[in-house]
Structure 1
Amino acid sequence: MKIKAALLGVLCAAGASGPAFAHPHVFVDARLEVVADGDGNVAALQNVWRFDEFFSSSVILDYDTNMDNQLTGDELTEIGETVRQSLAEYNYYTQISDNGEDVKLAMPDVIHADMVDGQLLLFFAAKPEEPLPLSGHLTFGVYDPTMYTAIEFRNDGDLVIEGEAFDKCEKNVLRPDADQILSENADSLTAAFFNDPTDMSKLFATKLDITCD
């Protein structure tokens, strides 16, 4: 069964057989809730992703095993498990920086899939592999390092913190100015887009910026 490149890390089932170029083919509306535990550590990053209707319809074609033009039961379970396995090398598109150091995430226990109003939804909790105290400067973001999938937080309220430990922290939502980034990196972006987009995509990503005492 063919799987979508941006979502699952292999070639696009819609027919792409060559490398993905550095512009989005899949569009996602996202919500991120960063949850702190009673010990002052980051307990989980709760992700909700809603995919565009065109991509969602192609997922139905790939996974509708009983040919009823909808996704239910085992079909949704298979989608969630395929994503869980395939996005591990991309840290589940969920990025944490702990005082300048990248944080590795554990594999989620499960990724839930649903189809609502013709759009695929994925829900999952991403957790740091090691305890991550709320101390100093942390940033949280959700973006595709291959730049194949555009993940958007439409409103600042889609980036949420939860837990008393955040009372000692200051929260800001960072939305980079794309025009400014392009201007400041004009000499390097063209080659980077086509040869190594991994280092460039984070420049354009919306992030939740946390500074704690």
Structure 2
Amino acid sequence: MNKTLLPLLASLVFAPVVAAAHPHVFADARLEIVANDDAQITELHNIWRFDEVFSSSVLMDFDKNANLKLDPPELEEIGKTVLTSLEEFGYYTTLTDNGKPVKVAKPDRINVDYKDGQLLMFFAIKPAQPMNLKGKLTFGIYDPTLYASIDFPSDKDVVLMGAFGACKSAIVRPDPDEVIAENKSSLTDAFFNDPTGTDMSKLFATRAEVTC
């Protein structure tokens, strides 16, 4: 791996997890959940806007011609790096279909832009298996390592698009104290069994619940 990529990988936890007790990278997210006329989820449109500190570090690492901006080839290089490196983490996307986890397919590309001192990433991702609008579906964006905090600034940043018909939706923002109290035993066991990377952080993540 080219050494110039390491700062970006470490910052977004594309590299192995190392005792990340709290977030070091912050991003505001927008998620558009798209359904077709056959009552199936077809795509998830992601837009992530990163904090200025992290964005400036990416600028320093990828500004090869030192012109203090990210030119199209440099933005493309960032996108290619993220496309490969986030695959292991399912692109920070968590889906469930009536309680069962649903994997996501690798997107065709991750588009990157740099505006007003902030790095933006936007891409479309698809469920790896059919998701029908039946029962209870959940959609969330979270980093299982807790190094990056990617959250929705408001409930309006999660949007249903397409043929959702009579489906009802709600945004769930778990209370950390309640999550800990309700899962104290399992959280303790998970930490001691694998303190470097459990999947329990999803309990704390904001999610959209769609019931059809």
Same fold (TM over 0.5): yes
Structure 1 residue 131, shift from structure 2 partner: 2.2
Using the alignment, how far apart are the partners of 2:191 and 2:71 within structure 1? Answer: 40
Which residue is equivalent to 1:5?
A: 10
Alignment match, 1:169: 167
Aligned match of 1:178:
176
> Is the contact made by 2:28 and 2:48 (CA closer than 8 Å) also made in structure 1?
yes
Aligned to 1:53: 52
Give, in angstroms, the shift of residue 186 of structure 1.
Answer: 3.9
Task: Report how far residue 69 of structure 1 moved.
Answer: 1.2
Q: Match for residue 203 of structure 1?
A: 203
Unpaired stretches in structure 1, ≥5 consecutive residues = 12-17
CA positional deviation for 1:99 = 0.9
Q: Does the CA-based 8 Å contact 2:20-2:147 persist in structure 1?
A: yes
1:134 is aligned with what amino acid?
L
TM-score by length of 2: 0.90
Deviations 1:11-44 (A, max 9, x none): 6xxxxxx814221110010000100112111010
Aligned position for 2:95: 96
Q: Aligned residues, how many?
A: 205
Percentage of pairs with the same residue: 53
Partner Cα separation in structure 2 for residue 197 and residue 175 of structure 1:
22
Residue number in structure 2 paired with 1:15: none
Q: Is the 8 A contact 1:147 1:197 kept in 2?
A: no
Structure 2 residue runs of 5 or longer lacking an equivalent are none
8 Å CA contact retained: 1:142, 1:205: yes
Query: How much is the aligned-residue C-alpha RMSD, in angstroms?
Result: 1.8
Secondary structure at the aligned position of 1:40 is classed as coil
Q: Aligned equivalents of 1:38 and 1:206: distance in 2?
A: 27
